[in-house]
Amino acid sequence: MKQDVIKFDNHIYQIDVFMENKPGRMSCYYIDSSNPILIEVGPSNSFPYLISSLESLGINEVNRSAMTHLHLDHIGGIGHLVEKYEEHFVYIHELGLKHLPNPEKLWKAVSDIYTEKWLIENWGKIKPTPIDKIKTLNDNEFIDLGSNRKLQAYHDPGHAKHHYSFYDDVSKTLFIGDTLGLIYPHGNFVQPNLPPPDFDKEILFETLEKFEKLELNNLALAHFGIHKNPYDLITNAKESIEVWIKFIENLPETSNQEASAIMEEWVRTNYEFLGIDKETIDNYTNNVHFEMQVAGIRNYLLKKKNP
Ligand SMILES: [Zn+2]
């Protein structure tokens, strides 16, 4: 089974879990401290890749993991994880208590957008997680990694109200999930990720400004990888989010579907204008659901108009 694991300083491993069987789409992380932890699990269909990568590192047992949020591309494999490792438990936002033991609602929310057939083929069926395997997080809570190392959990609800990011005080890495946006190989810029129903610019910017005050060496994104220019990327993300909102705000009345086609064309043209190579542009624009982005931004604009 193919593997792509990159070792970073301070015993951090970036694991490509080949989401949708493609490289460079979803990364999980493993911090190999004296009290180790896995960050993210990825969708169900990625689970064999995750396990084979861990085993290639000589890791045959993982007792705990931390999930950034409850979207299925991040947590789809949790049921498999707690089944495989008897002692395993999962840190997650308190909504996990409601949805992980009964994941039908999470499943329906995504299959309504992507269709159930797509979901089964690409992300895979999910298994419920027993309630006693779930540990809910609190804002600013510390997760002890042993050897005077800890992860601090920050509740950061701009992308999804159940989102947490995790800050490692030794490597100065912020595991930021989907809060920043997307950076696909081999781009060096952030593409916004602003889905309904929770995207809220003011809340998201408040969080990003809080993160800018941390001492940061790296940002570890779920989609995709570890990046060493954290402050530039946060500035870049904020600028792009502003531009995307303006674009949707200024569109004439159109359906979300029509708007998403116009938006995709506009995003591609912008990237071409910036001199980005075609492969990278394809990587960024083919792996995004533009209609969901339109819906997320319109939903935010509507909330702002009618609070
Ligand atoms: Zn995601």
Opening angle at CA 164, ends 55 and 20, nearest 5 = 50
Q: Which residues, 6+ apart, have CB-to-CB distance to 230 below 8 Å?
A: 174, 216, 217, 218, 219
What pLDDT score does 232 carry? 98
Q: How far does the centroid of ligand 1 lie from the alpha carbon of residue 224, in Å?
A: 9
For residue 245, the CA-to-ligand 1 centroid distance in Å is: 20
Which amino acid belongs to residue 49?
Y
Distance 148 CA to ligand 1 centre (A): 30
Distance from residue 129's CA to the centre of ligand 1 (Å): 20
Residues 125 and 77: beta-carbon distance below 8 Å:
no
Q: 281 by DSSP, 3-state: which?
A: helix
**One pLDDT digit (tens) per residue for the chain, 307 residues:** 899 999 999 999 999 999 999 999 999 999 999 999 999 999 999 999 999 999 999 999 999 999 999 999 999 999 999 999 999 999 999 999 999 999 999 999 889 888 999 999 999 999 999 999 999 999 999 999 999 999 999 999 999 999 999 999 999 999 999 999 999 999 999 999 999 999 999 999 999 999 999 999 999 999 999 999 999 999 999 999 999 999 999 999 999 999 999 999 999 999 999 999 999 999 999 999 999 999 999 999 999 998 8
How many angstroms separate the alpha carbon of residue 222 from the centre of ligand 1? 6
What's the gap in Å between 69 CA and the centre of ligand 1?
8
Q: Cα of 63 to ligand 1 centre, how many Å?
A: 23
In sequence order, what are the beta bridge partners of 134? 90
What local confidence, expressed as pLDDT, does residue 307 receive?
Answer: 82
The answer to whether residues 47 and 74 touch, using CB atoms and an 8 Å cutoff, is no
Taking the centre of ligand 1 as the mean of its atom positions, its distance from the CA of residue 296, in whole angstroms, is 14
Residue 147 CA to ligand 1 centre (angstroms): 31
Each residue of 285-297: b (16+ CB within 10 Å) or e? Answer: bebbebbbbbbbb
Structure tokens at 79: 């049921």
**What does the block give as tokens for 46?**
């990625």
Q: How far is the CA of 156 from the centre of ligand 1 (A)?
A: 14
What's the gap in Å between 187 CA and the centre of ligand 1?
Answer: 17
Distance from residue 44's CA to the centre of ligand 1 (Å): 14
Judge if pTM exceeds 0.95.
Answer: yes
Strand order in the sheet with 142-146: 142-146, 149-155, 164-168, 173-177, 218-221, 225-227
- What distance in angstroms lies between residue 179's CA and the mean position of ligand 1's atoms? 9
